[in-house]
C-alpha cells in the first residue's frame, strides 16, 4: 500500500526531532513513528527525551533518546559521529527546539537577544550543516523546521523571537535552493498551540494586567482563530509527517501556516 493510499510512508527511514521531549516536538515524534520511522528524540532535557521514547516504546515503536543542546556545535559533531557509526543517521531532520520570551524592546538584554538567536536560528543552522550533507550524498532527505506565524506577522513584545523565526524561514528557503532536487527543506508556521511554551505568553499578559485571568488570555487568543480553537501538537505533527513523506517530493522552500486560519500569506 502506498502512502497516497493511506500507508505509513516512512518505513526504513530515521527521523531526528530536536526539542522532542516536550509539547509539539513530542507530538511530531509520535506522528513520525506512526508513519514507520525510527525516532531520535533529541532534547536539552534528557529526561524529557527519555519520557518521549518511553511513550513511543509502549506503542511498539523503535526510538532512542538523545541529550542535545542545539547551540553546542562540538556536541552536535560528536552525536553525528556516533549516529553514523551506529547506522542511525537521520533521513528526516525536524528543527523544532526553541525558546520563547516576551519583553518590550527596551527591556530585552543583549544576552537575552543573543540566546534567542542562538537557540532558535543558529541551532537549526548547525543541525542542517551537520545532517544535510549525508542527505545530499544519499540523494534523499527531508528537513522541516518549526517557525511561527509570528515570524511572518511579527508580534508585540516578542521582537527577538519573531526576528529569529523570520530568520529561520529565510535560512530554510535559501538552503532549499542549494540542496534541490533530492532534499526538500520547508517550514511549518504554527499559530497558538497548547504547550508549556504558551504559558510564557499568558504569564506575560497577566504580568501587565493583574486583573486578567489565564482563561481570559486564552479566550483572547482563541477569538483570533477562525477555526475557533487553540492548536494541538498533533495538528502540527500531521503537517510535518505529510511534508516528510517520500511522495511529497514537489514541495520545497515553503513556509506553511498551520494555525486554524489565523494568518494568510
Give yes or no for residue 159 binding ligand NAP (CB under 6 A): no
Q: Measure the CA–CA gap between 119 and 197, rounded to whole angstroms.
A: 15
Please count the residues of the chain. Answer: 265
Smaller CB distance to ligand NAP: residue 123 or 141?
A: 123
- Cα–Cα dist 213/50, whole Å: 34
By beta-carbon proximity to ligand NAP, the closer residue of 45 and 57 is 45
Cβ-proximal residues to 197 (8 Å cutoff; 6+ apart), any chain: 23, 98, 100
46 annotated active-site: no
Residue 52 touches ligand NAP, criterion: CB under 6 A:
no
Comparison of 3 and 92: residue with beta carbon closer to ligand NAP: 92
Alpha helices in 95-158 (DSSP H): 110-117, 123-137, 150-153
Q: Name which of 3 and 186 has its Cβ closer to ligand NAP.
A: 186
Q: Which three cell numbers stand for residue 203?
A: 504569564
Size of the site for ligand NAP (CB under 6 A): 31
Residue 127 φ then ψ, to 5°: -70, -40
141 part of the interface to ligand NAP, by CB under 6 A: no
Among 195, 244, 252, 257, binds ligand NAP (CB under 6 A): 195
60 lies in the site for ligand NAP, by CB under 6 A: no
d(CA 126, CA 162): 19
Looking at the Cβ atoms of 135 and 237, the one nearer to ligand NAP is 237
Find how far residue 108's CA is from the centre of its chain.
24
> Measured between alpha carbons, how far is 230 from 260 in angstroms, rounded to an integer?
8
Binding piece for ligand NAP, criterion CB under 6 A, among 31-39, 77-85, 189-197, 246-254: 189-197
The active-site residue out of 100, 131, 157, 161 is 161
Q: How far is the CB of 172 from ligand NAP (least distance, A)?
A: 13
Q: Looking at beta carbons, which residue is closest to ligand NAP?
A: 23
Kindly give the pairing relationship between strand 92-95 and strand 14-18.
parallel
- The answer to whether the CB of 218 falls within 8 A of the CB of 230 is yes
61-120 positions binding ligand NAP, by CB under 6 A:
68-71, 96-100, 119
Binding site for ligand NAP (CB under 6 A): 18-19, 21-25, 43-45, 48, 68-71, 96-100, 119, 123, 146, 148, 190, 192-193, 195-198
Could you give the residue numbers annotated as active site? 161
Amino acid at each position: 500500500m502506498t502512502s497516497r493510499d493511506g500507508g505509513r510512508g516512512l518505513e526504513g527511514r530515521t527521523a531526528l526531532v530536536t526539542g522532542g521531549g516536550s509539547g509539539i516536538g513530542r507530538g511530531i515524534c509520535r506522528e513520525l513513528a506512526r508513519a514507520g520511522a525510527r525516532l531520535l528524540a533529541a532534547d536539552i532535557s534528557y529526561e524529557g527525551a527519555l519520557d518521549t521514547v518511553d511513550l513511543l516504546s509502549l506503542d511498539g515503536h523503535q526510538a532512542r533518546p538523545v541529550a542535545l543542546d542545539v547551540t553546542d556545535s562540538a556536541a552536535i559533531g560528536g552525536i553525528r559521529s556516533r549516529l553514523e557509526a551506529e547506522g542511525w543517521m537521520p533521513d528526516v531532520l525536524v528543527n523544532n527546539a526553541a525558546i520563547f520570551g516576551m519583553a518590550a524592546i527596551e527591556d530585552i538584554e543583549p544576552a537575552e537577544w543573543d540566546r534567542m538567536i542562538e537557540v532558535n536560528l543558529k541551532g537549526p543552522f548547525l543541525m542542517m550543516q551537520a545532517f544535510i550533507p549525508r542527505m545530499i550524498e544519499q540523494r534523499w532527505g527531508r528537513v522541516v523546521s518549526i517557525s511561527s506565524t509570528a515570524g511572518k506577522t511579527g508580534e508585540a513584545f516578542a521582537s527577538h523571537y519573531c526576528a529569529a523565526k523570520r530568520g529561520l524561514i529565510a535560512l530554510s528557503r535559501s538552503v532549499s535552493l542549494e540542496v534541490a532536487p533530492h532534499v526538500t527543506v520547508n517550514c511549518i508556521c504554527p499559530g497558538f498551540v497548547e504547550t508549556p511554551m504558551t504559558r510564557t505568553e499568558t504569564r506575560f499578559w497577566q504580568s501587565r494586567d493583574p486583573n486578567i485571568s489565564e482563561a481570559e488570555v486564552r479566550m483572547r487568543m482563541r477569538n483570533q482563530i477562525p477555526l475557533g480553537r487553540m492548536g494541538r501538537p498533533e495538528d502540527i505533527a500531521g503537517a510535518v509527517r505529510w511534508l516528510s513523506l517520500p511522495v511529497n517530493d514537489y514541495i520545497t522552500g515553503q513556509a506553511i501556516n498551520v494555525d486554524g486560519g489565523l494568518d494568510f500569506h
